[in-house]
Amino acid sequence: MESTVLSACLLLLLLGWGDGAVLPPDVLDTAPEPSMVELIQLFQDFMSRFNKTYSNPEEQHRRLLIFRQNLATARALEEAGQGLAQFGVTRFSDLTEEEFRAQLLSPMPGHTLRPAAQSPSKPAPPSCDWRKAGAVTPAKDQGLCGSCWAFAAVANIESLWFIRHQDLYNLSVQQVLDCSRLQVACGGGFPWDAFTVAWMYGLTQEEQYPYIGCQSLCKSGHQAVASIKIFQFLSSDEKKLAAHIATRGPVTVGINANLLQFYVEGIITKNMTCHCNPEEINHAVLLVGYGLAPEKKTPYWIVKNSWGPEWGEEGFFRIYRGGNACGIASLPVTAMVHEGAFDAAIESCPP
């Protein structure tokens, strides 16, 4: 690892900051804590932790400046989080906002909501977490393919199939990419594009059709282990949405994911959501439950992401529940899977 990470003194010299050199004006103008030496150490740790290398010293210099500005952004977000959320260094900390959006997010412009399905008549219980029932697979990593729409839909089917049949499968996202009718599946899509594939072909297991992070030809001959009857749009009323999740299972939603670039853990609070326009839906995720934090009695959603288990809270995050925070209730949609034996279904979500 020493060959890929420069020492603090050497990096200072390469960047012109050693031996009494004057810091560049753009750094001086915006340089809060940490100190420059501490910043270099943080950047080294970041490079080592996420195995980052750069083509030349100039590019490393540029990434350090981006890293530094992103630390300031993360610090401001954490201050706005009122102690309930932690923002800091993630594997995306050397990316500009534009690069982060281009590499990880998939804008969903022009979506039209269809009539929502009828919601459960009973009010939602105080809390729900389908992970406690074993109904949620570990978070997966979409990589640099804009396939969140497929991951969020497949995760929905995985959970619903378990709730109805007591069989938890890691289903193939790659099958969805390859067999969808999208010309550029890694360029983004809608969850119902994935549901259509599941309806037409059924879904096989991940181990039979592994993820490669790019679109290829649709392969036939794999045994389907899960299928769906239809998909349906749900009400954007968050009380009704919670009731649906508690009684019927996780739901796929869209979200403005701009705040997630530096998310580490905790609850993204209501007063932070001014940083994420709810009209700009650019990422698909899965609501797996909800709760109420004792601190300041903050209601929140529990959300499964597709950036791997090392990101966030083992691949999950929590965000304020109420007021359509970051657009999270704008586009709820779910599959309906084929029913199993009556006595196999799980009737309620664990609190």
In this predicted structure, what is the pLDDT of residue 123? 86
Catalytic residue among 145, 148, 186, 276: 148
Phi and psi, residue 175, nearest 5°: -60, -40
Of the candidates 156, 179, 289, the one whose C-alpha atom is nearest the C-alpha of residue 226 is 156
User: Is 305 assigned a catalytic role?
Assistant: yes
Please count the residues of the chain: 351
The dihedral through the CA atoms of 28, 31, 35, 39 has a sign that is: negative
Catalytic residue among 186, 282, 283, 326: 283
| Locus of tokens 């109904």 | 135
Phi and psi, residue 220, nearest 5°: -105, 175
Q: What CA–CA distance (Å, rounded) separates 199 from 341?
A: 20
Domain boundaries, the chain: 36-85, 103-337
Q: Quick one: fold of 103-337?
A: Cathepsin B; Chain A (3.90.70)
144 pLDDT tier (thresholds 50, 70, 90): very high
* Tokens at 10, concatenated: 């050497």
In this predicted structure, what is the pLDDT of residue 33? 66
User: Is 271 assigned a catalytic role?
Assistant: no
- Return the percentage of the chain with pLDDT > 70, whole number: 86
Render pLDDT for 218-233 as a digit per residue (tens, 0 to 9).
998 899 999 999 999 9
Do 333 and 287 touch, CB atoms closer than 8 A?
no
Q: What CA–CA distance (Å, rounded) separates 285 from 332?
A: 10
Give the lowest-confidence range in 17-26, 224-233, 263-272. 17-26
Do 333 and 276 touch, CB atoms closer than 8 A?
no
Catalytic residue among 186, 305, 326, 349: 305
User: Is 70 assigned a catalytic role?
Assistant: no
- Mean per-residue pLDDT of the chain: 87
35 pLDDT tier (thresholds 50, 70, 90): confident
117, pLDDT greater than 90: no
* Tokens at 152, concatenated: 């969020």
Torsion of CA 188, 190, 194, 196, to 10 degrees: -130
9 pLDDT tier (thresholds 50, 70, 90): very low
Q: What CA–CA distance (Å, rounded) separates 176 from 180?
A: 6
193 pLDDT tier (thresholds 50, 70, 90): very high
308 pLDDT tier (thresholds 50, 70, 90): very high
Phi and psi, residue 156, nearest 5°: -60, -45
